[in-house]
Amino acid sequence: MSEVHAHTVGYVRETMLPQQAPPATTVGFIGWVRQNLFSGALNSILTLLAIGFIYYILSGVLPWTFQSVWDANSLTECREIMMATWGDTHGHACWGVIKDRWLQLLYGFYPPYPAHPDANFGAAPDGHWWPAYIRPNLTLILLLVALAPVLFTGAPRKLLYVTAAYPFLLPWLMWGGSIWVPITAAAGFVIGYLAFHFGERTLGTLGGMIAGAALPIVWWLFLAAPVVDGLTSVLDIGLPSVQSRDFGGYMLALVLGVVAIGVSLPIGVVLALGRQSDLMIVKYLCVGFIEFIRGVPLITLLFVASLLLNLFLPPGTNFDIILRVMIMMTLFAAAYMAEVIRGGLAALPKGQYEGADSLGLNYWQAQRLIIMPQALKISIPGIVSTFIGIFKDTTLVSIIGLFDVIGLASAIRADTSWNGVYWELFAFIGFLFFVVCFSMSRYSMYLERKLQTGHK
């Protein structure tokens, strides 16, 4: 009986079945479409509605963009070409305004040739050959070089020397003047570092911090100018000076954005740490500054920088308008940055602080090695959002009389040749801002993926 039962029991397969290809409807493009766009009745309806809406938008935008006029010197000429080509002036862009004024939209009234800063706009000086706008273009190239070792770990570490020098090269290249001005400005930071280093050994940490902050201020306020004059009298090296009134266009937005973004991050870190400090005076000062700045619109701060700040300065004081705007925009961004970083600090578990204490690290070592790297990693989306916001807010300077790209667009539209042009100018401006903002957003996502250490 047992033998009969053994022959009727199912057996275990000793050989594997050959692998079969997955169904064609579950992999590849078709599989992605079925899973993401047509996974159900509701998703299918929404997908079809979205496709119809996109088609409706593109059917108007694409013909307007590409069935357009590029070779025209005025809006009237544009319309004449449209009538001769398509028999209608509607639904066609007049990109001739961009071809005619793109240099002005990018550089404002900045002199194109460094040897002759008073040369007419776009006119090469006789007897000289210079690459047009070499100074702002060189400044942009050096910016990319300086950012490379900061943003990408694969970049050569020697480029950090360019990163350290760039904050002093930028104002010298853009505004010109003696080469000794940025050198003496950099010397102030060296003096501050040495004063803190030796003061910490002899006077303690607090004494070193006071010496490191006081001596550079004394150097910049009282000693730097005589040193610059003396060095200039011995060896005069410099660039032709450019007035701030000549700055404008997209170049002005980049300069303001780079300075505000670059300076606001370290100030925001200090304010965030100060807000969590156990020292009552430090904490209340940081809280008061952050809440005041965050409670006031940026346009109000810009009006203060433009109109009211001179009233509180000694008579005859010449405080550059762009420098005033830079300071206000930096302080505004730093207040928001402090709150973003404070959120990252609050998100860290208490065990991270206890672990730093168990290792015997002091406060600054713990912040530098354990706490702040994790807080900044958590805060990456908020930090980049703040960067993007402050860069777009640079367009507000047109309200206080600076000819940024928006102000120049209005000036171009006031010209009788281009009176009536609207969409083409702002489409071009929107594209310029989109390139920078989209790049920052993509880098933020790349950095989050690179620093991802948790389980997906």
pLDDT of residue 450: 87
Domain 102-175+244-450 falls in which CATH fold? MetI-like fold (1.10.3720)
pLDDT attached to residue 400: 87
Q: How far apart are CA 336 and CA 289, in angstroms?
A: 11
Q: Would you give the distance in Å from CA 402 to the centre of its chain?
A: 19
Burial class (CB in 10 A: 0-12, 13-18, 19+), 343: middle
Among the listed residues 237, 244, 238, the one whose alpha carbon sits nearest the alpha carbon of residue 111: 244
Q: What is the pLDDT, as a whole number, of residue 141? A: 96
What is the rounded CA–CA span in Å between residue 327 and residue 267? 12
pLDDT of residue 309: 73
Angle at 259 between CA 258 and CA 264, to 5 degrees: 105
Helix (H) or strand (E) run with residue 177 in it: strand 177-178
Q: pLDDT by residue for the chain (456 residues), tens digit each?
A: 455 555 555 567 677 778 877 777 777 788 888 888 888 889 999 999 999 999 999 998 999 999 999 999 999 999 999 999 998 888 899 999 999 999 999 999 998 876 544 444 444 555 555 678 999 999 999 999 999 999 998 899 899 999 999 999 999 999 999 999 999 999 999 999 898 888 878 877 777 878 888 999 999 988 999 999 999 999 888 888 999 889 999 999 999 999 999 999 999 999 999 998 888 888 999 999 999 999 999 999 998 888 777 777 666 667 788 988 999 999 999 999 999 999 999 998 888 888 888 888 888 888 888 999 999 999 999 999 999 999 999 999 988 888 899 999 999 999 899 998 989 999 999 999 999 999 999 999 999 888 876 544
Query: What is the pLDDT at residue 320?
Result: 85
Place of tokens 């079925």: 34
Whose structure tokens read 């776009």?
122
Distances (CA, A) of 353 to 148, 321, 337, 348: 32, 44, 22, 9
Residue 14 is which amino acid?
E
Give the chain's count of helices (H) and strands (E). 19, 2
Distances in Å between the Cα of 190 and the Cα atoms of 117, 205, 362 are 33, 18, 25
Q: What is the CA radius of gyration of the chain?
A: 30
Q: In this structure, what are the phi and psi dihedrals at residue 404, rounded to the nearest 5 degrees?
A: -75, -170
For residue 451, the model assigns a pLDDT of 84
Phi, psi of 234 (to 5 degrees): -85, -45
Q: What is the pLDDT of residue 17?
A: 76
DSSP 8-state secondary structure symbol assigned to residue 420 = T
- How is residue 173 written in tokens? 């290249």
Tell me how crowded residue 131 is: count the other CB atoms within 10 A of its CB.
11
Q: Interior CA angle at 274 toward 273 and 277, to 5°?
A: 90
* Domain boundaries defined on the chain: 28-66, 102-175+244-450, 177-239
Please tell me the predicted confidence (pLDDT) of residue 115: 53
Residue 217 to residues 26, 222, 299, Cα–Cα distance (Å): 68, 8, 30
Q: How far apart are CA 307 and CA 368, in angstroms?
A: 40
In a 13 Å sphere around the CA of 431, the CA atoms on its Cβ side amount to 11
